[in-house]
Structure 1
Amino acid sequence: MKINIVELNKNKDFDLEIVFINSLEEIIDSKDKNTLEQLEFKAKDEVSTILVESKKIYVGFEEYSYDSLAISIATAVKKFKSTKFKSAKIVLNTKLEENFKALVEGAVLGNYSFDTYKSEKNIKKQELFFVVEEKNSNLNAILKESLTISKAVNIARDMVNTSPADFYPEIFVKEAQKIAKDLELDCEVYGEKYLEKNNMMAMHSVGRASVHESHLIHLKYKPKKALKKVVLVGKGLTYDSGGLSLKPSDFMVTMKADKSGAVAVLNSIKVIAELKLPIEVHAIIGAVENMIGGNAYKPDDILKAKNGKTIEVRNTDAEGRLVLADCLCYAQDTIKNIDYILDFATLTGACVVGLGEYTTGIMGNNESLKQQALNSCQNSGEYATKLDFNRYLKKCIKSEIADVCNISNTRYGGAITAGMFLDNFIYEENKNKWIHFDIAGPAFVEKPWGYNPYGASGTGVRMAVQFVKDLVEKV
């Protein structure tokens, strides 16, 4: 769907008008008002109706907030898509202009559908026009930026939704190399020989039973006179069977989504480079497939990570933290003078149990940095909350025979103990620079919610980009 801004005085015909309603009292057309009352239309989020005779889609919203308006326009767009009309307009008032970002992103994200594997595709050429009284350069800038961000979110959704037979570590490499070529970024790719040579046996062990070679991917965006240096690290399990600690069959479905963290990181650096933000960004991806076979790593194995710490494996389904451990060490060993380290991972089912399906868990050692990350998440339109470490949960990942155990000895607090496991691989000088985002809940949900579709949501892209944008504004 094309989205444009057009001035009110331009003589252009539209097939439909989308009208936002906070109260039925706002409706000027008495005939339409009467019809809506007869239909018991409610001015609430996710409520819309089309009056064909009036050529109007009425959509309710509850408040002038990002979430409410993004959901409302997504609802209206879906209604628009269900028709044969080719064009629709939205006349912007002052308050809608103030929330223009939400309208653009809600429209693009709400218009998304994944039909790659459908034999019959429903392709429509429709256009959405925002009508303003006069030319507005600020709105044009918001439109350009929001289109860039939301299109990247939709690309992330496509990647996550893609079958594991069609998206494996080598495909991650090709996608990263394509982005590097298109945006003139540096891209380094390391295979299993490199992992062995550099003592990255935590990551190496996870992927060794797969027919697909594991790859560590390092993308670099280095603008001139960069204000800060940010490292993004992503868990890229292109498929997770659970390994020898095999998942139950119903839990194995949707495990193509275990690459969501790395997909978010890949598309975040793409957006940051496209927006030409003056922040140096490194994206590090651990692209691995966790499978079973005679060469699979086993419960009771003792693995050594890049920083020399030993890990007792008690469950091979706690594999993402092993991949991240070596990726985090690699980042700190190869990148100097880091200001921030952010890792993104669909790490624990415990986070979903604790926070629900729609909320990211934020963890780390620095309270002010966690709050900064939370603010960026909320400003981006994503849901998140902070989860605090504590000394007692740290004891739950203590090993009697190694430095640390890869799972907790209790079923409680699993999201936090996984975060505390990762803390073992953050060097002392970087403890207060690191944030862990557990996106296991919102990354993939098997029902539509708000402006998000069934399946992948693209969680992480907007929050990472917003975090970097906020750094620019602070400086």
Structure 2
Amino acid sequence: MKLTLFDKNSKQNEYDIEIILVLNKDLEAKNIKDRALLKNLNFKGGDEEAVFLPESQRIYVGCEENSYECIAIAIATAVKKFQTTQFKTACVELLEDESESLKALVEGAILGAYTFKKYKSKKEKEVKQELVLLASKDLKKLSDIFNESVIIAESVNKTRDFVNTTPDDFYPKIMAKEAKKIAKENDLEIEVYGQKYLQKNKMNAMYSVGRASRHESKLIHLSYKPNNPKKKIVLIGKGLTYDSGGLSLKPSDFMVTMKSDKSGGCAVLGMLNAIAKLKLPIEVHGIVGAVENMIGGDAYKPDDVLKARNGKTIEIRNTDAEGRLVLADCLCYAQDTIKDIDYIFDYATLTGASVVGVGEYTTSIMGNNSKLKYKAVSSALQAGEYATSLPFNRFLRKAIKSEIADVCNVANTRYGGAITAGLFLDNFVYDENKEKWLHFDIAGPAFVEKAWGYNPHGASGAGIRMTIELLKAL
């Protein structure tokens, strides 16, 4: 669906559909022209409530608060209703605070209009539709917000496509191919390394996870280097293109949706795509460990002891705790090869414990720097994503102690699993970078098997909007 920003005073009465947001359930507002009919239809103006009146060619949609989330959900709901028609154009006026409402309307519309039909055998003919956003103030200032919001939302949808693609169509080689496309389109530097590099550079944790797969593991390194950057940021993503659990095999129903285990790596690709297009004044390195965790005669085993790139030894007690092994070597690679780093952020669908603890829709953020964690949570909420921080503590740190190696890849307790996974990663963050590092466990919101708000069934593209907001704040 095409989006356009237009001066509402220069072009009127030329749209097929008018979308009207009913704020605060106020059915007596001036812009409500069909009060009696809406009342007869029992329309109350609640969130995600919409009604289409063909005779007046208006879509009324509820918007309970004048906030980013409510506005984005409202326009997404209206757009979905619009998409069920054969009409070609719709318009909606920006709210009183045009700058604030514009971002929510653009992102909500693009994210809400998203569908994934790649594997549908029957291809429906789609009507080319356009949503026109009508503004009354200076379009020059608003156009910057409009363009930025389009870039961010389209990068989120690109990430959704990656995550939703099946493992047989999206394995490490394909992930590297998509990264190269993003690099070429945005004039980024890119390096892709295979298993020989992992072995030669003693990245045995990452190498071992993928060695039983017929698909070779890939270490992907994208670099965005503008002139005179203000900061140097490293973004690291877990790219498990499929996770069977390895020899600690998942139950069959838990294996379904494991195409989503690449969500962290895909999010990093989406971030680099957005950052380059936005021309942010920071140097950003995106590192993705693209691996497939499978079973076979060469699979790594419970009881193995692996040595990571930094020399630390890891006792394996569960091969399904594999994402942290991949991230461990990626963290070391980043710190060994990139100098003068200001911040390191990693993203992963790392633990079911995060989902149990904070729910399907919330990202768990961990690290050693409380102020940085709070800034990340604040940025997430401002960008329209849910996030909370989880605290490290000395007693849970003891839970991943190994009797035969430096650290164990799973804890000796069933409790606090999201935090113990974060504490495991902390072993691979060098002392000089402890205060610069954050871990984002996106296991909850990255992939949900039901639509929520402006997010569809499946991948949501979690992490991108919050990270762009955080980078701007830093």
TM class, shorter-chain normalised? Answer: over 0.9
Give distance in 2, aligned partners of 1:357 and 1:117. 25
Amino acid at match of 2:213: S
Give distance in 2, aligned partners of 1:101 and 1:327. 34
**Structure 1 residue matching 2:34: 3-state secondary structure:** helix
8 Å contact from structure 1 (residues 183, 274) kept in 2: yes
**Structure 2 residue matching 1:385: 3-state secondary structure:** strand
Say which is worse superposed, 12-21 or 445-454, in terms of deviation: 12-21
Residue pairs, 1:135-146, within 5 angstroms = 135-146=138-149
Q: 2:284 aligns with which of 281, 285, 288?
A: 281
**Structure 2 counterpart of 1:2:** 2
Give distance in 2, aligned partners of 1:325 and 1:134. 50
Q: 2:119 aligns with which of 113, 117, 120?
A: 117
Going from structure 1 to structure 2, the CA distance change for 1:129 and 1:30 (only over 3 Å counts) comes to closer
8 Å contact from structure 1 (residues 227, 278) kept in 2: yes
Give distance in 2, aligned partners of 1:467 and 1:181. 26
Q: 2:294 aligns with which of 291, 294, 298?
A: 291
Q: 1:86 aligns with which of 81, 85, 88?
A: 88
TM-score in terms of structure 2 length: 0.98
Q: Which runs of 5+ in 2 are unaligned?
A: none
**Structure 1 counterpart of 2:48:** 46
1:353 aligns with 2:356: yes
Report how many residues are paired.
471
Shift of 1:10: 2.6
Going from structure 1 to structure 2, the CA distance change for 1:30 and 1:266 (only over 3 Å counts) comes to closer
TM-score in terms of structure 1 length: 0.97
Shift of 1:380: 1.4
Give distance in 2, aligned partners of 1:298 and 1:213. 19
Give distance in 2, aligned partners of 1:386 and 1:30. 42
8 Å contact from structure 2 (residues 68, 100) kept in 1: no
Q: 1:401 aligns with which of 400, 404, 421?
A: 404
Going from structure 1 to structure 2, the CA distance change for 1:349 and 1:8 (only over 3 Å counts) comes to same
Shift of 1:120: 2.0
8 Å contact from structure 1 (residues 230, 279) kept in 2: yes
Amino acid at match of 2:385: E
**Structure 2 counterpart of 1:67:** 69
8 Å contact from structure 2 (residues 445, 460) kept in 1: yes
8 Å contact from structure 1 (residues 266, 283) kept in 2: yes
Identity, % of aligned pairs? 65
Residue pairs, 1:230-245, within 5 angstroms = 230-245=233-248
**Structure 2 residue matching 1:212: 3-state secondary structure:** coil
Amino acid at match of 2:2: K
1:76 aligns with 2:83: no
Residue pairs, 1:247-262, within 5 angstroms = 247-262=250-265
Give distance in 1, aligned partners of 2:32 and 2:456. 35
Give distance in 2, aligned partners of 1:241 and 1:378. 33
**Structure 2 counterpart of 1:378:** 381
Give distance in 2, aligned partners of 1:181 and 1:91. 37
**Structure 1 counterpart of 2:106:** 104
8 Å contact from structure 2 (residues 7, 139) kept in 1: no
Residue pairs, 1:404-415, within 5 angstroms = 404-415=407-418
1:271 aligns with 2:274: yes
Shift of 1:135: 4.4
Shift of 1:30: 7.7
Amino acid at match of 1:409: N
8 Å contact from structure 1 (residues 397, 404) kept in 2: yes
Residue pairs, 1:307-326, within 5 angstroms = 307-326=310-329
Q: 2:391 aligns with which of 388, 393, 396?
A: 388
Residue pairs, 1:322-341, within 5 angstroms = 322-341=325-344
1:186 aligns with 2:183: no
Q: 4+ residue runs of structure 1 moved beyond 6 angstroms?
A: none
Amino acid at match of 1:449: W
8 Å contact from structure 1 (residues 27, 33) kept in 2: no
Shift of 1:133: 2.6
Residues 24-70 of structure 1, C-alpha deviations (whole Å, 9 max, x = no match): 44344786101111111111110000111111000001111111110
8 Å contact from structure 2 (residues 261, 349) kept in 1: yes
8 Å contact from structure 2 (residues 98, 135) kept in 1: no
Residues 351-403 of structure 1, C-alpha deviations (whole Å, 9 max, x = no match): 00000000000000000111111111112111100000001101110100000
**Structure 1 counterpart of 2:22:** 21
Give distance in 1, aligned partners of 2:309 and 2:100. 49
Give distance in 1, aligned partners of 2:471 and 2:94. 29
